[in-house]
Amino acid sequence: MSFEFGMRPQGSVTAPAEPEDYDVDEEEADPAPPRAAEEADLGAVLDETNVVEVLDQLDRELIALNPVKTRIREIAALLLIDKLRSEVGLASERPSLHMSFTGNPGTGKTTVAMKMAQVLHRLGYIDEPRVVPCTRDDLVGQYVGHTAPKTKEVLRRAYGGVLFIDEAYYLYRPENERDYGQESIEILLQVMEAERDKLVVIFAGYKDRMDEFFRSNPGLSSRVAHHIDFPDYDIDELMAIAHLMLDQQQYRLGPDAEDAFRAYLERRVTRPRFAHGRSVRNSIDRARLRQANRLFGEGTGILSRDDLMTITPDDILKSSVFAEDREPEDDGPIPGAA
């Protein structure tokens, strides 16, 4: 079959014609990307996030611990400046925010974790100002195939907030070959790196044990950017904590009760299971119980507002810490106590 010039067989494919050059009107051109701002308003961001309010609350509600407060302010400042750098087009990669809080019980680690969650939320680094506390029992299973689902379920609940692992060193038990804690650690390692935009992990516990925990698990240590040590309180600081707690509950120490409570603390700090702020709270709860029992035992007379507020020396001196032949008070929770 022959074809005349200009004809083509049906079904054949021809090469596309070369496009002709043409001018593009300025209105039809793709818009140029917006230029980054040349300046950022620090005051506006502070007003928008109210981060300073949280830091001020931390100062008011947590006695002493100045090194801890300073470090938290430094972290908040870094995140705030990163936010401003992003606004003006400077490099601002999300920093690693996983942390380690080390110190003795009752030194404020949980309180600071909650404030840190508020700071991170207000600056947009986590979705909710929420702390999910857990221990080894929540993460590690007792048989093959049990640990991974438990750990992943805790992580699922913590996504969008802060996961607070107390006594984290119990996850690692090298003396037990059949222990499943290492499996939980490996899952945490993966999530802390691959999904660090979803949650922040805070490990907590005694300093010496946490140091050993990180030495034994260098992969964890390298993923924890902020190691914060919580120092012990001295007697004056413990007294300040007591006054803060009493004020919050509308109680006060009566004449000579101040000296009695100081003497109590000087003895209590040398006894087993002392837990700083937690022990102070429990001692106040017990003093309230003794005060209530004293007022109840005095009969059915009229009680003034001052009577109902005042803790007397006897309400403190009846503590077992003043009796050498008796066991020290347990710092466990008191049924029915506030």
Measure the CA–CA gap between 117 and 4, rounded to whole angstroms: 81
- By the 10 Å C-beta count (0-12 exposed, 13-18 middle, 19+ buried), 149 is classed as exposed
Reported confidence tier of residue 10, pLDDT bands at 50, 70, 90? very low
List the one residue out of 109, 58, 48, 57 whose CA is nearest residue 80. 48
Which residue type sits at 201? V
**3-class DSSP state for residue 115?**
helix
Supply the DSSP symbol for 234.
-
What's the distance, Cα to Cα, between the start and end of the chain in Å?
103
Reported confidence tier of residue 25, pLDDT bands at 50, 70, 90? low
Reported confidence tier of residue 14, pLDDT bands at 50, 70, 90? very low
Do the Cβ atoms of 183 and 172 come closer than 8 Å?
A: no
pTM for the predicted model, two decimal places = 0.81
Reported confidence tier of residue 55, pLDDT bands at 50, 70, 90? very high
Strand 131-134 and strand 99-103: the pairing is unpaired
Q: What are 203's strand-pairing partners? A: 100, 165
On average, the pLDDT of the chain sits at: 87
Q: What are 200's strand-pairing partners? A: 162
Mean pLDDT for the stretch of residues 106-111: 96
Predicted pLDDT of residue 15? 45
Question: Do you know the residue count of the chain?
Answer: 338
Phi and psi of 304, rounded to 5°?
A: -80, 170
Element (H, E) at 226: strand 226-230
In this predicted model, what pLDDT tens digit does every residue of 82-106 receive, in sequence order? 989 888 889 877 888 999 999 999 9
Mean pLDDT for the stretch of residues 144-153: 94
**3-class DSSP state for residue 338?**
coil
Mean pLDDT for the stretch of residues 66-93: 91
Predicted pLDDT of residue 334? 46
Q: Let me know the angle formed at the C-alpha of 226 by 225 and 230, rounded to the nearest 5 degrees.
A: 160
Element (H, E) at 7: none
In this predicted model, what pLDDT tens digit does every residue of 166-184 receive, in sequence order? 999 999 988 877 889 999 9
